Amino acid sequence: MMPSSRSQLPGLAQRAERLRSSAIRELLHLTERADVVSLAGGLPDAASFPAEALREAADRVLRERPRVALQYGPTEGIAPLREWVAASLRKQGMDFTPAQVLITSGSQQGLDLLGKVLIDPGSPVLVERPSYLGALQAFALYGPRLVGIEADDDGPLPEQLAAALPGARMAYLQPRFSNPAGRSIAPRRADALAAQLAASSAWLVEDDPYGELWFDTPPEPGLIARGVAQGVHLGTFSKVLAPGLRLAWVAGPQVLIDKLAQAKQAADLQTASFNQWVLLQALQAGVIEHGLPQLRQIYRTRRDAMLQALANHMPAGVSWTRPAGGLFVWLTLPAGMDAANLLPQAVARGVAYVPGATFNVGAAAPNTLRLSFSNVEATILQDAVARLGALLSQALELEQTGATPAPSLLRTT
Does residue 40 contact residue 356 with C-beta atoms inside 8 Å? no
At 359 the three-state DSSP class reads: helix
What are the start-end ranges of the H helices in 251-371? Answer: 254-268, 273-284, 287-313, 339-348
Q: Pick between residue 134 and residue 344 the one whose CB is nearest to ligand PMP.
A: 134
Q: Assess 132 for contact with ligand PMP (CB under 6 A).
A: yes
Least Cβ distance, residue 168 to ligand PMP (angstroms):
20
Backbone angles phi, psi at 65, to 5 degrees: -145, 50
Question: CA-CA-CA-CA torsion for 94, 97, 99, 103, nearest 10 degrees?
Answer: 40
Q: Can residue 325 be called a binding residue for ligand PMP (CB under 6 A)?
A: no
The span from the CA of 109 to the CA of 20, in Å, is 17
Please tell me whether residue 268 adopts helix, strand or coil conformation: helix
Cα–Cα distance between 327 and 371 in angstroms, integer? 9
What are 36's strand-pairing partners?
none
344 binding ligand PMP? (CB under 6 A): no
CB of 327 to ligand PMP, least distance (A): 8
User: Can you tell me the distance from the alpha carbon of 37 to that of 44, in angstroms, rounded to the nearest whole number?
Assistant: 15
| Near ligand PMP by CB under 6 A: residue from 82, 207, 223, 355 | 207
| Binding flag, residue 134, ligand PMP (CB under 6 A) | yes
Whichever of 42 and 50 has its CB closer to ligand PMP, that residue is: 42
Q: Residues 228-267: x/- map of binding to ligand PMP (CB under 6 A)?
A: --------x-x----x----x-------------------
179 belongs to the binding site for ligand PMP (CB under 6 A): yes
Closer Cβ to ligand PMP, 108 or 382, answer by number: 108
Instruction: Tell the smallest beta-carbon distance from residue 170 to ligand PMP (Å).
Output: 15
Is 139 a binding residue for ligand PMP by CB under 6 A? The answer is no
Q: What is the dihedral of CA 195, 196, 198, 199, to 10 degrees?
A: 120
Q: For residues 25-84, which are near ligand PMP according to CB under 6 A?
A: 42
CB atoms within 10 A of CB 386: 16
CB of residue 179 to ligand PMP, shortest distance in Å: 4
Out of 48, 108, 276, 358, the residue judged to bind ligand PMP by CB under 6 A: 108
Q: Which residue is nearest to ligand PMP (CB)?
A: 106
The answer to whether the CB of 181 falls within 8 A of the CB of 131 is no
Binding region for ligand PMP (CB under 6 A)? 42, 106-108, 132, 134, 174, 179, 207, 209, 236, 238, 243, 248
